[in-house]
Amino acid sequence: MKKEELKAQLYDEIAKCNRCGFCLAVCPVYAAVGKEWATPRGKNALIRAIIEGKIDWTPEIEESLYRCTGCRLCTQTCFPAVETNQGVLAGRECLVEKRLYPQVIDRVVEAIENNFNISNEPNINRTMWMETMEGVPENRFQKEKAEVIYFTGCVASFYPMAHKIPQNLVRIFHRAHVDFTLLGGEEWCCGFPLIQAGMKEKMKTLKEHNEKMVQKVGAKTIVFACPSCYHTWREMYQTDAEPLHSTQFIERLIAEGKIIFQDGRERIVTYHDPCDLGRNSKVFDPPRNILKKIPGVKLVELENNRQLSMCCGGGGDLEMIDPDLSSAIAKRKIEEIQKTGAEEVVTACQQCIRTISGYARKNKIKLKVRDITEVVLEAMSA
């Protein structure tokens, strides 16, 4: 993106920042870093200074703009609701043009361009998560026509730590007699990592391909367990199929009597709102309604919940760009979870699980972190 375009798109938005500093109270990056460059106010000031020609792109601006989780808690608590993350993402597009961006991004972009996914695996292996699963049908959950498409997402497809999510979700679908299919090797990355990297224009082919595949199946519904895929689809894609997050879909299945919970273990559970699901897509109630329906579960809220939920530290490519910073943010999240006294934290995002449980494991903190699909399947089987 060129400076002129940045000005045309964002000058009015950024100009609404009065530098009041209220965002400093909630920004997870500032809480970890403690320097003005980390603040949403600072990021707005930098974009503004660029637009007004008071400063040129510098490595420090790169450092600042690439350290934002995209959680948008700043906007949520900002008086004029300045969309700082839009400025950050547009700023990254400008930085990419100047070739000023974290080099680690090149690896992911190369992977997406070569494999249509973020890993080093060929895309044909998109169903590799079935390797450790029993009872996989011959068609590997793929058929030409279906009512529902389950869009697995790159992390759940290729990273063993997250394989449980698709495994559990297809079992839920199977038991609830959902007519569904996967796109298998024809599911390409949704483009979310490219938007975050500041390379939005590169997602065009991915988007066109995915839209075509969905049209071909003729599905009415497309289900995502990944909040970022779901959010990207809602914001950027146009298909006839209704995009739903897995929690929304499961809530419907419960209402239709297709999911029935057996008795469950008595326990206290807390729920972490993933930023891209909660604040950014406004899906707050379905996961809570599901948990409340599960026998034995007592749901206690985190101190900051729903639209005020604190990021886990894994958003906006941050874990890839600056793992130490991501960890520092996860630490705060874990402290908040521990304060509830809950023995388990449930969430609905593979990235949140990865960030939270990764930090807990490395620091030998005993904490049960589970995806809601696992909790649902367990309660169906109990």
Partner 1 sequence: MNRDQMIEELSKIVGKENVLFSETDLLLYGYDASLFKAKPDCIVLPNSTEEVSQIVKFAHREKIPIVARGSGTNLSGGTIPARGGIVIHFSRMNRVLEIDIKNQRAVVEPGVFTLTLKNQLARYGYVYQPDPASERVSTFGGNFGENSGGPHCLKYGVTTNHVLGAEIVLPDGEIIWVGGKALDHPGYDLTGLLVGSEGTLGIATKLVLRIVPKPEAVKTMLAIYNSLEDAGRTVSAIIAEGIVPATLEMLDRLTIKAVEESIHAGFPLDAEAVLLIEIDGLKDGMERLAERIIEICKENRAREVKAARTEEERAQLWAGRKGAFGAVARLRPNYLVCDGTVPRTKLPEVLTRVMEVGKKYNLPIANVFHAGDGNLHPLILFDERNEEELKKVHLAGSEILKICAEAGGTISGEHGIGTEKKKEMFFVFTPKDISAMRKVKRAFDPEDLFNPGKVLPEVQT
280, HSE (Cβ side, Cα atoms, 13 Å): 27
The CA distances from residue 22 to 40, 84, 253, 303, in Å, are 10, 13, 41, 19
By CB under 8 A, residue 28 contacts partner 1: no
Residue 9 binds partner 1, judged by CB under 8 A: no
299-337 burial: b if 16+ Cβ within 10 Å, else e? beebeebbeebbbbbbbbbbbbbbeebbbbbbbbbbebb
Least separation, in Å, of the C-beta of 381 and partner 1? 40
CB of 95 to partner 1, least distance (A): 13
Write the CB contacts of 366 (distance below 8 Å, at least 6 apart in sequence). Answer: 360
- Give the whole-angstrom CA distance, residue 219 versus residue 242: 9
Q: Which two tokens stand for residue 36?
A: 């003005």
Q: How far apart are CA 353 and CA 360, in angstroms?
A: 10
Question: Judged by CB under 8 A, which of 2, 5, 8, 35 binds partner 1?
Answer: 35
Q: Closest by alpha carbon to 281, among 253, 307, 255?
A: 307
Number of residues that bind partner 1 (CB under 8 A): 30
Residue 2 interacts with partner 1 (CB under 8 A): yes or no: no
Shortest reach from residue 43's CB to partner 1, in Å: 10
CB 273 within 8 A of CB 306: yes
Asked if 15 touches partner 1 (CB under 8 A), the answer is: yes
Region near partner 1 per CB under 8 A, out of 40-48, 167-175, 327-335, 372-380:
40-48
**Nearer Cβ to partner 1 (6/269):** 6
Q: How far is the CB of 285 from partner 1 (least distance, A)?
A: 19
Does 37 participate in binding partner 1 (rule CB under 8 A)?
yes
Among 25, 161, 260, 300, contact with partner 1 (rule: CB under 8 A): 25
Interface with partner 1 in residues 250-289 (CB under 8 A) = none
- Nearest in space to 352 (alpha carbons), one of 69, 43, 12: 69
* The one among 1, 6, 29, 45 contacting partner 1 by CB under 8 A: 45
**Contact code string over 69-108 relative to partner 1, x by CB under 8 A:** ---------xxxx---------------------------
Q: What is the CA radius of gyration of the chain?
A: 21
Q: How far is the CB of 275 from partner 1 (least distance, A)?
A: 20
User: Where in 119-214 does DSSP place strands (E)?
Assistant: 148-151, 180-182
- State the minimum distance, in angstroms, from the CB of residue 26 to partner 1: 8
Q: Does 146 bind partner 1 (CB under 8 A)?
A: no
- With CB under 8 A as the contact rule, the residue among 2, 8, 60, 218 that binds partner 1 is 60
d(CA 44, CA 10) in angstroms, rounded, equals 10
Residues that bind partner 1 (CB under 8 A): 11-12, 15-16, 18-22, 24-26, 34-37, 42, 45-46, 49, 54-55, 58, 60-61, 64, 78-81
